[in-house]
Chains A and B, each alone.
Chain A
């Protein structure tokens, strides 16, 4: 049995929850993939940090399910994220406990300044410095300005989450292929054309960086 963990971190209103749900929904087509996870609820949705966790346990063919090797806890233990989708750079920095050398970080470089920076004058670290710091843990860091891409193509920030989903798919770490995610966007959510376009934008952007 193999475990695979995806952590999404961001700020309230960025669509982290929806992103998490798509990654969980995709398992319904796979009997051999068990999934657990969670999403932030309650007070922190109001301008605070939000996250979504997706944990897969994949049983290979002919293998029996073994609860001692399954996924149970809804939070990812230290260093065990295979992908960290950071919808905001500071939130990646705040959540490095999920990261180890195996982690692919998809880092949206669009900053959302916390209230403490704006009104209390706390310092927002430079993105370059944060990325340098993260390199102590992993060198698989992919930068993308999903907000700018979303704004450019759609005129708003509404597809940032789907762009980042496309970016995550490009790492080829997820247990699904591109078409499966396309199908979910096509059948389960509104505005399929825009979403499919956004998925491709994110995917192509990261593929460019990998090749």
Chain B
């Protein structure tokens, strides 16, 4: 149960950190507001969500076939495709490409899959320097922290905290907490590196099977630079990111940035379809696509849980999650935090490690209500709550049943006994109402911030009978 203790510990420290609390609250309020205003028409939003869900459901239903098609098209276009079953394999593939080019430095655009691989750590161990070029990622890398949000990695930091970090790491730059000045400083530092880096790495938002096109959505232009300036470009992505055809892109591109940041379109949208062709003046000479499984094909096997793989990583579920807004991303202890992390991570890494995450939700439904691809997140959280305590060991989720505790199981079996036997239930309520004065005023965690509920003199069963309501 160490993981549980650690989780509660991280939650506790986040809740008691006023800076964390206010940074997240403000940022999430802002993101929710922007999203809401970018979808003025509720019917249109619903249509678009239906369409987007349909596109993703269709892609997942034909996943093996589409992946083959993607590989064929990419290869025809000159993109080299690599398959990795595990993150270790994916890391080794990237390192191998680096070594073949004698490359000591990798410049990176934003990629959550590379976070999942812990690529930076792996490459650094093998003598390769990684440089994050997305502003948020650059900041968390400087701070030596993991991202706390999938779209805005440094959202847990205030402007002032970032300014202090910059002045500590770059004493030559004059202190400023002006956003534009900070951005300019980062840009100057990074721009020099782009031209020196032999290899650039990026994620992929959508991979189009029909044409072998890798789509990349971004705001800072660093994605475009990572994928065009260095002579070698490596794209890493999960196998679930494939879509069937090019015409699937417009609806997804229309809903993704609006759900994420409230923008109608991002500043950059890149479609990468091949390395530099002989008559072209720029672009990388080599493009590699690393397709990572890491448990996804197992998730794919389950009729209900497969919906997890629809995710287009917009972050709306975390922006709207009242739990995430209070504890922030780091408390989850997983690569991907928030509601989607709470369903995805336990399925990937196992319930032994992330068994608490599915319970850290009130099932309020805010996540499912905003998800652009209509992932029924609350239902999947509920399903994983079942997986974490079920005993029959027939499901595919690793760590199934690992969170079952005999004491809790006994409580639920007495609860069943009481509520499946109406006479016993009525007897119980009669006793409870009769002895209501004996109910303690302190009920553990509940009464730490609340007064104890008061049992009524007469139950509704009794009142209904006394007032003459018939029972059949």
Q: Say if A and B assemble together.
A: no
Residues of B within 8 A of A (CB): none
Residues of A within 8 A of B (CB): none
